[in-house]
Amino acid sequence: MNSITVDIEKLQREIDALALITEATPPVVTRVLFSEADLRGRAFVKNLCREAGLVLREDAVGNMFARWVGTDQNLPAVATGSHIDAIPNAGKYDGVVGVLGALEAIRALQAAGFQPQRSIELIVFTAEEPTRFGIGCLGSRLLGGVLSLERAAALRDCAGRDLEFWLMQGGCAGSLPSVKLAGDCYAAFVELHIEQGPLLEAENLDIGIVEKIAAPSSLRLQLTGVGGHAGATLMPGRRDALLAGAEIALAVEHAATTSGSLDTVGTTGIFRIAPGAVNSVPCEAYLEIDLRDTQVATRDAALAQIENRAAAICQRRGIKLALQRVNVDPPAICNAPLVQTVEQVCHKLQIAATKLTSHAYHDALFMAPVCPTTMIFIPCRGGVSHRPDEYSSPAQIQIGVRVLAEILAAV
């Protein structure tokens, strides 16, 4: 094999072009699952994969697979990939670097004359972001068998439309039971991603090698109080759903900051009220809460504290509470030999690297039960992500793609 050369100019053009496929006005990127923009983005990626000579298929939930067929098809493939869906008001690098960067890693290996013995497969996961259904990593959860088919079928968006409706919009075919991967399908999975944190930039490092991925959990709360005229409903008799929700949001903050773990983070990311009129006491509130930690014990203790405080707050205020645990997932411990392989590649290439924890969760979290898994992080400016100003430089992306290409060749 000749020296591996990453065509960063071509890759950057593709990243920029995909960023223009959005439901919002650029530079804002928004691509919600199976929206018109998401479908156009998927078509864009498929076309690039065909141009690279990869064999395409799509499963029943819309996970896309693009395979460079190896010389020994009896061997399990090595996989890489990420997602291209984007939350509202997002940027152009989250997930996309792991998809288009992986494609460029394959093209670089092809150009270098590498002949893979194992097939190399690029996976574009469905709905890594929770925007459509309130649960993240839908495609990889089903691939890993960690989301039951009953729960998947019961998913609804904010308008009450179910998963089946959106799968039809996406042109997906087949049965959901067929999505789950066999245990021997992949020899390894490696996901390239922007760090979404400040460590690498602060320490002037090129690569982060992920050893473990934090354990996520999320709650949905429906609060029902009693509405009324803002002037005529006197304060002593009020059952204000918004105020109960506000206390609960503060309880989330308190639980996260007093858990005893620096890695505990809690966010009330959705807070909607009804009827939403300035002269009407809010009779309903809807909250979605995200709680994460690298340690299950402290995460679960904080989760229980939030649930108990929510119940007590609502009882005191005369509010009816309906609480649902959407997901409570374990952390992932990355495969030690695969982590060592990444270290060896970085050492060979004289690239400054460190081992770290991913506090954000990714599709890799749900690939870890399927096969040996790790992630490669590249720096992002200021640790900013999920905003239009998220940014990784072409030089940083180029290094990440080069490391990924070497790993795909080595596994």
- The pLDDT value given to residue 2: 86
Per-residue pLDDT reduced to its tens digit, 273-297: 999 999 999 999 999 999 999 999 9
Per-residue pLDDT reduced to its tens digit, 196-219: 999 999 999 999 999 999 989 999
Cis status, amide bond into 198, omega within 30 of 0:
no
pTM to 2 decimals? 0.92
Distance in angstroms (rounded) separating the CA atoms of residues 411 and 120: 10
Work out the angle at residue 20's Cα, subtended by the Cα atoms of residues 14 and 21, and round it to the nearest 5 degrees: 95
**Domain spans in the chain, listed from the N-terminal domain onward:** 8-214+331-410, 215-328
Per-residue pLDDT reduced to its tens digit, 111-143: 999 999 999 999 999 999 999 999 999 999 999
- The pLDDT value given to residue 387: 97
Domain 215-328 CATH assignment equals 3.30.70.360: yes
Distance in angstroms (rounded) separating the CA atoms of residues 86 and 99: 13
Residue type, 323: L
Distance in angstroms (rounded) separating the CA atoms of residues 111 and 2: 8
Predicted confidence (pLDDT) at residue 78 exceeds the cutoff of 80: yes
- The pLDDT value given to residue 141: 97
Distance in angstroms (rounded) separating the CA atoms of residues 42 and 36: 10
CATH of domain 8-214+331-410: 3.40.630.10
| Rounded alpha-carbon distances, angstroms, from residue 261 to 295, 300, 344, 355 | 8, 12, 31, 19
